[in-house]
Amino acid sequence: MKIIKYLLILPVFCVSLFGQAEIKDPLFTEVWGPVPAVVTPGEGSNPPSDAFVLFDGKDLSLWIGDNDKEPAWDINNGVLTVKPGTGGIRTRQAFGDCQLHIEWKTPAKVKGEGQGRGNSGIFFMGQYEIQILDNYNNRTYSNGQAGSVYKDHAPLVNACKAPDEWQSYDIVFTAPKFDEDGTLLKEARFTVFHSGILIHNNVKVMGMTAFIGLHSYTPHLDRLPLGLQDHGNLVSFRNIWIREL
């Protein structure tokens, strides 16, 4: 039996000892399973076939407001707009690792400067923020401008369009992993495209978003809701969908 065992693993040793050039049969490197699921890409503004649509332009039935109240944000002609002072909104469903597509625009009427201009944010698991801000000819601290992992990583470039122009984020989020005793095993990570331009390439997140002080991790569940911020500005959204990874 031992001889048969060694004969079965012999091809592996041949590869490691003599290199891939010694493999004569192309079938040796073919992998046929598991078979990847078929996903139909979306055409135009339509999501891919396996996406979960969070906002389709009609209602906020999949969202809830701060303090567990019904969302008070406005919906007009398929566009969702922050109603300042009513608080943020979050998804009723919880998510972990995911791919998010979201389109947004800042108000046509420019008010304020720096962080006071077209400010909102996307909070993954309610705790890790990708900043939304009008940074079209508007300077602020680099790790707080549009596309930043807020106060954690500045974007590679400023891809902001002018106010009242639709922009998009396509975000791949890898949730942090904790041991049973709460020990951090893996940090969260972000890859972000801003209107098709790569602005974060698998960056490691230093911890939960904080306005003051250094970021750090506190253990939490593997899946938590996604949130959108009310920062007092009339930021608008449309075509929000998510794919669980």
Under 8 Å between Cβ of 54 and 89: no
Collapsing DSSP to helix, strand or coil, 76 comes out as strand
Say if CB 242 and CB 56 are below 8 A apart. no
Task: Give the model's pLDDT for residue 4.
Answer: 44
What parts of the chain have a pLDDT lower than 50?
Answer: 1-16, 18
At 19 the pLDDT is 54
CATH number for the domain that contains residue 206:
2.60.120.560
Judge contact between 208 and 127, C-beta under 8 A.
yes
Query: Does residue 101 fall inside a structural domain?
Result: yes
Within-domain flag for 206: yes
The residues pairing with 132 across neighbouring beta strands, listed in sequence order, are: 120
Reduced to 3 states (helix: H, G, I; strand: E, B; else coil), residue 217 is coil
7 belongs to a structural domain: no
Domain that holds residue 202: 37-244
214, burial (CB in 10 Å: exposed 0-12, middle 13-18, buried 19+) = exposed
Dist. CA 191–CA 241, nearest whole Å? 16
Q: What is the pLDDT of residues 47-72, one digit of tens each?
A: 999 999 999 999 999 999 998 999 99
Is residue 237 in a domain? yes
Residue 7, pLDDT score: 41
Q: How many domains does the chain have?
A: 1
Q: Check residue 17 and give its pLDDT.
A: 52
> Would 12 be classed as within a structural domain?
no
Q: Is 2 among the domain residues? A: no
**pLDDT single digits (tens) 84-124:** 999 999 999 999 999 999 999 999 999 899 999 999 999 99
